[in-house]
Amino acid sequence: MRTRTRSRAAVAVKAKTTNTTSFASRLIAWQSEHGRHDLPWQNTADPYRIWLSEIMLQQTQVTAVVPYYERFLLAFPDLPALARAPLERVLELWSGLGYYSRARNLHCCAQSVMEKFGGAFPDNVETLRQLPGIGRSTAAAIAVFAFGVHAPILDGNVKRVLARHAGVDGFPGERKVEEQLWRIAEERLPNKQIEAYTQGLMDLGATICTRARPSCMLCALAADCVALTTGRVGALPTPRPKRAMPQRAVTMLLLLRHEAVLVERRPPMGIWGGLWSLPELPEDITVERYCATRFAAQVRADEPLAAIEHSFTHFHLRITPQPCTVVSWNTRAEEPGLLWLPLMEASTAALPAPIKKFLLGLRPAIRA
């Protein structure tokens, strides 16, 4: 009796001999009819707009990026405007999008392009890769869409498409597996219509070859997809090896005065680098002693509020807000790096998303 599933080796051999032009032509045809054509950063060859969108789209879904992208262009319509802007303003507009090192690199990159290249983005992948915040795949995407350069990309969606179609085992984050996927990406580049091909890879991964519940019956590449033929669509790409998520816990001070809250600027490196946040209480010191030492202020610790839970890529953070009654205050809290932020301005301030949400929730209670 003939089984429905062929051996992995046999399918892999067949996939290797699949005509590369056929793969590309099917993808290009699909993109023309079913791909995305009305995203705000499409239908332009402006390197600035393409670069901005590619940085924002790193590890972030399109639906989340669109409003941020549009607000950024209103504030910074071109590269010189972004390069001139203070980092504080850039972080304000980025607040809530996450991965804040992208915002710092974005600002630094804009200044680098102005200083080193006279405001014109380099038109080749290798030079683009030397700029802050631009890796190999992002550099290739910019080069493809802005300059028509033939270069492979390998973002998360593309890794999934290629791993399934070519039947690549192993977690794509492992160097050996990633190198294999890069080779496949290079081998399958078409001779022409590189923009449509690249956009098609992105679109197929985002809308058809999705992580969960992929629409294989609608896929233009289904006929010779190794994962589909061998019944391993759900298993490829191989998930990240499971590991226990580290837990961290911090206490943050909630100091209120005249409907304003005391915030401090976080160090430029590390989580939420450069953003404003509630002062973090060091371990092994009381609230009263810390405020006396740091702010020359006399406070009384009140009952802690419910914890704020927030997860990052590599760890889980538990924040305990510690309200304090201010008995006496000193002007030391007006020094650089500290700010009395009116709660009415919290929605537009450069605050981490969980802190902003927490402070916005305080406004009704304080007015009451």
- Residues recognised as catalytic: 54
Judged on CB neighbours under 10 Å (0-12, 13-18, 19+), 253 is buried
Q: Which residues contact 68 (CB under 8 A, 6 or more apart)?
A: 56, 93, 94, 96, 97
Bridge partners (DSSP) of residue 156 are none
**Residue 160 in tokens:** 């999934």
Answer whether 151's CB lies under 8 Å from 140's CB.
yes
End-to-end CA distance of the chain: 76
CA distance 107 to 125: 20
The DSSP bridge pattern shows strands 316-328 and 260-265 to be unpaired
Q: Using omega within 30 degrees of 0 as the cis cutoff, is the peptide bond preceding 237 cis?
A: yes
Question: Which parts of the chain fold into alpha helices (H)?
Answer: 8-16, 20-34, 47-56, 62-75, 79-84, 87-94, 101-117, 125-129, 136-147, 156-166, 175-187, 194-207, 226-229, 287-295, 353-367
Give the three-class secondary structure for 288: helix
User: Based on C-alpha coordinates, what's the Rg of the chain?
Assistant: 25
Chain center to CA of 342:
29
Report the C-alpha gap between 38 and 32 in whole angstroms. 12
